[in-house]
């Protein structure tokens, strides 16, 4: 299944239908640890979990929404000023992104191909979700 939905740094949990025209990919981090972005110390102390829901490239004509379990970790280094931090998925998403890197790249390519003009039809936009 990871051939159809490559998730760098993540593990696919399940794929669910989200109505007749959409899929939801549920995923989580592969590893049970994360590095503090301030001191680079490895932490396995989970503070909490939350969901990130970025848009992804469409698949088989269906819109794809990810549901990515993201955790907050405690930094246990007493010299570090940061007490907690959120794990990151740098190969999949930028920080605070609402869409995956591959969707952002596809939208950028479409924009460049159209010379910055809006597409004349939905087909010209190759069924990718609108920028957002
Ligand atoms: Zn730290």
- Nearest C-alpha neighbor of 71 from the set 44, 90, 100, 49: 49
Interatomic CA distance for residues 56 and 129, integer angstroms: 8
Task: Give me ligand 1 centre to Cα 74, in Å.
Answer: 8
CA of 131: how far to CAs of 17, 100, 107, in Å? 23, 11, 7
pLDDT band at 117 (very low <50, low <70, confident <90, very high): confident
How do the domains of the chain map onto residue ranges? 10-117
- Nearest C-alpha neighbor of 27 from the set 48, 55, 52, 4: 52
19 vs 128, higher pLDDT: 19
- Nearest C-alpha neighbor of 132 from the set 68, 63, 80: 63
pLDDT band at 93 (very low <50, low <70, confident <90, very high): very high
Task: Give me ligand 1 centre to Cα 46, in Å.
Answer: 14
Task: Give me ligand 1 centre to Cα 78, in Å.
Answer: 8
109 vs 121, higher pLDDT: 109
Task: Give me ligand 1 centre to Cα 8, in Å.
Answer: 24
Task: Give me ligand 1 centre to Cα 80, in Å.
Answer: 5
Strand locations in 19-125 (E): 22-29, 34-35, 42-43, 46-52, 55-59, 62-74, 84-86
pLDDT in tens, 10-49: 999 999 998 899 999 999 999 999 999 999 999 999 999 9
Task: Give me ligand 1 centre to Cα 54, in Å.
Answer: 27
Task: Give me ligand 1 centre to Cα 98, in Å.
Answer: 26
């Amino acid at each position: 299944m990871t051939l159809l939905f490559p998730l760098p740094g993540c593990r696919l949990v399940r794929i669910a239908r989200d109505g007749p025209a959409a899929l939801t990919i549920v995923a989580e981090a592969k590893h049970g640890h994360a590095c503090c972005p301030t001191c680079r110390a490895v932490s396995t102390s989970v503070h909490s979990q939350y969901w990130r829901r970025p848009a992804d490239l469409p698949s088989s004509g269906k819109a794809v929404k990810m549901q990515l379990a993201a955790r907050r970790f405690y930094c246990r280094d007493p010299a570090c000023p940061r007490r907690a931090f959120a794990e990151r998925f740098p190969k999949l998403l930028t920080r605070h992104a609402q869409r995956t890197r591959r969707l952002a790249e596809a939208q950028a390519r479409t924009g460049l191909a159209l010379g910055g003009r809006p597409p004349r039809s939905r087909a010209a936009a190759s069924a990718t979700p609108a920028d957002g």
